[in-house]
Amino acid sequence: MAHAVVVGGGIGGLSAAIGLRKAGWRVTVLERAAAFEEIGAGISLWPNALRALDELGVGARLAPLRVSHGTGGMLDRRGRVLTRVDGEQFARLLGRLLLPVHRARLLDILRAALPAGALRSGVDVTEVTADGVVRWEGGELRADLVVGADGIHSGLRSRLWPAHPAPVYCGSTAFRAVIDWPRPRDLAGTMAPGVEFGLMALAEEKAYWYISLVSPPGVRHADPKAFLRERFASFHRQLRDVIERTPAERILHHDLYWLATPLPSYVHGRVVLLGDAAHAMPPFLGQGGCQAIEDAVVLAALAARSAEVPDLLARYDAQRRPRSQTIATRSARAGKAGPQLTNPLAVAARDTALRLLPSSLTARAAAAIADWTPPVVSVPAG
């Protein structure tokens, strides 16, 4: 049986492992964290990723995490409506609604779909060769296929593509948290100069919120909650409430980086990159994790048809690079034209355009990205 080693046990690596097992491969996931645990907040899964997760066989396990959503949209700083998004219309166009989930729950579900023996934590991979040897301190594995799913600061990428430029700061920093929140039906985001705020209902009467803020990189706040309270003192009540209700220790603060120079290939010999390692993007379209899941299901579908690694990886590269790199570029553009605008005239023009835009157009723009159907991962006979 062909053997794949997956480096990295995040959303992309675990999805790839599930798919490759379904395709009839033996899989070992190597994760450097001592335990498979998640720090993180929420993540929204778009219909493209939800369909891919169905194909991987884990869709049904996500169903209990769904809460009903009504109308959404965008407010301005004072809480006046910029756009409305009708949930029903959105679902009609996209076939289904997007699903915000706690990352920890998503990772639990993905790990539960793998046998315990396939997961090895506390393994920090230090070397990978093009012919499929994976090394770490005190260990080595030889694989037919190595999947580099080691995230935005991928060591595999920098070792195998040493001349490729490193990820760059996208101009915004992000604050995020999951909080207790009585289930709100109508949730709206907020856009203001240099700011985006989003609030999404999660299962179990929780909500996930995020704020992106234009800022120089590396700025840290001794007390992030006090900073946010002061920075958003003049904003509408829901945003201030959310900050007040958030225990200070739950607030995560990260600068947002992305791989601004697209890789010329995701493949090097028997090694293939997937997820943020291949195409880290700014989060303005909420597609980074969704693209990692798409990568995983495409790789698995190809691996189910052929164990000829050079051939299957050439097909993977041809199918995945154009789409994922286009979405990465669109995410960066969406930031520049939306939450990263700071010039008052440009902000006023954007807000006017948003107010005039029919909600059907907003839904159609989202559908253009989320309208993706995964290939079938055929299960080998016997």
Ligand X SMILES: Cc1cc2nc3c(=O)[nH]c(=O)nc-3n(C[C@H](O)[C@H](O)[C@H](O)COP(=O)(O)OP(=O)(O)OC[C@H]3O[C@@H](n4cnc5c(N)ncnc54)[C@H](O)[C@@H]3O)c2cc1C
Binder of ligand X out of 19, 167, 171, 286 (CB under 6 A)? 286
Say whether residue 120 binds ligand X (CB under 6 A). Answer: no
Tokens linked to 180: 């207790």
Nearer to ligand X, 265 or 360 (CB): 265
- Positions in 250-269 near ligand X (CB under 6 A): 254, 256
Helix 288-305 and helix 309-337: axis angle, to 10°? 160
Nearer to ligand X, 302 or 369 (CB): 369
Q: Which residue has the tokens 């990772």?
A: 107
Q: Rounded to the nearest whole angstrom, what is the least distance from the CB of residue 80 to ligand X in the complex?
A: 25
Binder of ligand X out of 21, 51, 176, 320 (CB under 6 A)? 176
Say whether residue 125 binds ligand X (CB under 6 A). Answer: yes
Tokens linked to 13: 């690596």
Q: What is the strand order of the sheet 125-128 is part of?
A: 125-128, 133-136, 139-142
User: Applying CB under 6 A, what is the total number of residues that bind ligand X?
Assistant: 35
Q: Rounded to the nearest whole angstrom, what is the least distance from the CB of residue 7 to ligand X in the complex?
A: 5
Nearer to ligand X, 85 or 351 (CB): 85
Nearer to ligand X, 50 or 192 (CB): 50
Say whether residue 97 binds ligand X (CB under 6 A). Answer: no
Say whether residue 43 binds ligand X (CB under 6 A). Answer: yes
Q: Which stretch binds ligand X (CB under 6 A): 76-84, 224-232, 235-243, 288-296?
A: 288-296
Q: Which residue has the tokens 């996500």?
A: 62
Say whether residue 151 binds ligand X (CB under 6 A). Answer: yes
Vertex 240: Cα angle to 74 and 178 (nearest 5): 80
Q: Which stretch binds ligand X (CB under 6 A): 6-14, 139-147, 298-306, 343-351?
A: 6-14
Binder of ligand X out of 8, 72, 171, 189 (CB under 6 A)? 8
Buried b (16+ CB within 10 A) or exposed e, 208-229: bbbbbbbeeeeeeeeebbebbe
36/39 Cα distance (integer angstroms): 10
3-state secondary structure of 261: coil
368/365 Cα distance (integer angstroms): 5
Say whether residue 287 binds ligand X (CB under 6 A). Answer: yes
Strand partners, 45: 99
The distance of Cα 81 from the centroid of its chain, to the nearest Å, equals 27
Q: Rounded to the nearest whole angstrom, what is the least distance from the CB of residue 285 to ligand X in the complex?
A: 8
Nearer to ligand X, 298 or 351 (CB): 298
Nearer to ligand X, 8 or 87 (CB): 8
Say whether residue 196 binds ligand X (CB under 6 A). Answer: no
Say whether residue 290 binds ligand X (CB under 6 A). Answer: yes
At residue 29, φ and ψ (nearest 5 deg) are: -100, 125
Binder of ligand X out of 32, 77, 305, 333 (CB under 6 A)? 32
Query: CB within 8 A of 198, min separation 6: which ones?
Result: 189, 190, 209, 210
* Closest residue by Cα to residue 181 from 42, 37, 63: 42
Say whether residue 33 binds ligand X (CB under 6 A). Answer: yes
Say whether residue 242 binds ligand X (CB under 6 A). Answer: no
Say whether residue 44 binds ligand X (CB under 6 A). Answer: yes
Q: Rounded to the nearest whole angstrom, what is the least distance from the CB of residue 382 to ligand X in the complex?
A: 31
Say whether residue 294 binds ligand X (CB under 6 A). Answer: no
194/197 Cα distance (integer angstroms): 10
Say whether residue 335 binds ligand X (CB under 6 A). Answer: no
219/210 Cα distance (integer angstroms): 17
251/171 Cα distance (integer angstroms): 20
118/142 Cα distance (integer angstroms): 15
Say whether residue 317 binds ligand X (CB under 6 A). Answer: no
Nearer to ligand X, 181 or 257 (CB): 257
Q: How many CA within 13 A on the CB side of residue 88?
A: 0
Q: Using CB under 6 A as the criterion, which residues of the chain lie in contact with ligand X when the complex forms?
A: 7-13, 30-33, 43-44, 123-125, 149-151, 155, 174, 176, 210, 254, 256, 275-277, 283, 286-290, 292
